[in-house]
Amino acid sequence: MQNWKILFIIDDKHRKDLIDRLFEESKPSPGFYLLICLASIIAAVGLIQNNAPVVIGAMLVAPLLAPVLTLGSSIVTGRLEVVARSIKGVLKMMAVVLVVGVVVSLFVGRAPDTSALLVRTQPHLEDFFVALAAGIAAAFAYARPNMSPTLPGIAVSVSLLPPIVNAGILFADGQERAGLGAFGLFGINLIGIIFASIVIFSLMNLYRARGEAVKVIQREEKDAKDEKRV
């Protein structure tokens, strides 16, 4: 049992570094949204063409991991202003991906075989467990200094990007019910990943770094005010 506890031990300095890294990588910068748009375009074209390699390629571009893990870490810190910032970031990310799915569908046209899209509109309990496992792997790998979160991050993107892009495509095609199903699948996966990150970050006592999270928010607000003055 003691050996398992060692896996979740990180010092205070690393907790602060983890918070800084999460908030920095999830900052709503132009570069962040550019990558989100490009990944969504690639995923939308791949879904319309039923081309799995293209969809997988979109996962390598999408920077979805940090915003979702930031929300999980914010909930662990227990500060409302931090949680509000994270929720706002995730909602903006969702909106951008959904809109891109709609726009690409309007320009590229209808999928030649909509059955491939409809397969991804039925949420199941198994999907939640897959998202849960992906979230655990991503949060653990992201928090450990000697591990790379790249591959777990791709697993998170696989759980999140295709369903919401698919929802946009189906909405544009006039299949509202199927689009809502795809959006529901995205929601289940998102909840599973956030819940998993909350568990992992709680085991790592990330709440001890709640002061650092507040400082990051204050710095972002100060930077935003300075930009407006220029």
Please tell me the predicted confidence (pLDDT) of residue 19: 83
d(CA 161, CA 167): 10
Tell me the domains of the chain and their CATH numbers: 9-222 (1.20.1080)
Please check the confidence at residue 90 and state whether its pLDDT lies above 70. yes
What are the distances in angstroms from CA 195 to CA 70, 73, 76, 77, 190? 12, 10, 10, 14, 8
Question: Helix, strand or coil for residue 145?
Answer: coil
- The DSSP H or E segment spanning 217 is helix 210-229
What are the distances in angstroms from CA 176 to CA 91, 121, 147, 186, 200? 20, 11, 41, 15, 36
Mean pLDDT of the chain: 81
Please tell me the predicted confidence (pLDDT) of residue 192: 92
Q: Are 209 and 14 in contact (CB under 8 A)?
A: no
Q: Are 131 and 197 in contact (CB under 8 A)?
A: no
Question: Helix, strand or coil for residue 144?
Answer: coil
Residue with tokens 């899209």: 117
Please check the confidence at residue 65 and state whether its pLDDT lies above 90. no
Report the share of the chain in percent with pLDDT over 90.
15
Instruction: Look at residues 95, 87, 88 and name the one whose alpha carbon lies nearest to residue 37.
Output: 95
Looking at residues 2-15, what average pLDDT do you find? 70
Question: Could you tell me the two tokens for 217?
Answer: 């928010």
d(CA 62, CA 33): 10
d(CA 215, CA 53): 42
Q: Are 89 and 69 in contact (CB under 8 A)?
A: no
Instruction: Look at residues 41, 44, 46, 39 and name the one whose alpha carbon lies nearest to residue 60.
Output: 39
Place 97 in a pLDDT band, splitting at 50, 70 and 90. very high
List of E strands, 25-165: none
Looking at residues 147-169, what average pLDDT do you find? 81
Please check the confidence at residue 2 and state whether its pLDDT lies above 60. no
d(CA 40, CA 197): 24
Please tell me the predicted confidence (pLDDT) of residue 117: 61
Phi and psi at 174, nearest 5°, equal 85, 10
Place 118 in a pLDDT band, splitting at 50, 70 and 90. low
Looking at residues 50-72, what average pLDDT do you find? 85
* Position with higher pLDDT, 45 vs 121: 45
Name the pTM for this structure: 0.86
Q: Are 194 and 72 in contact (CB under 8 A)?
A: yes
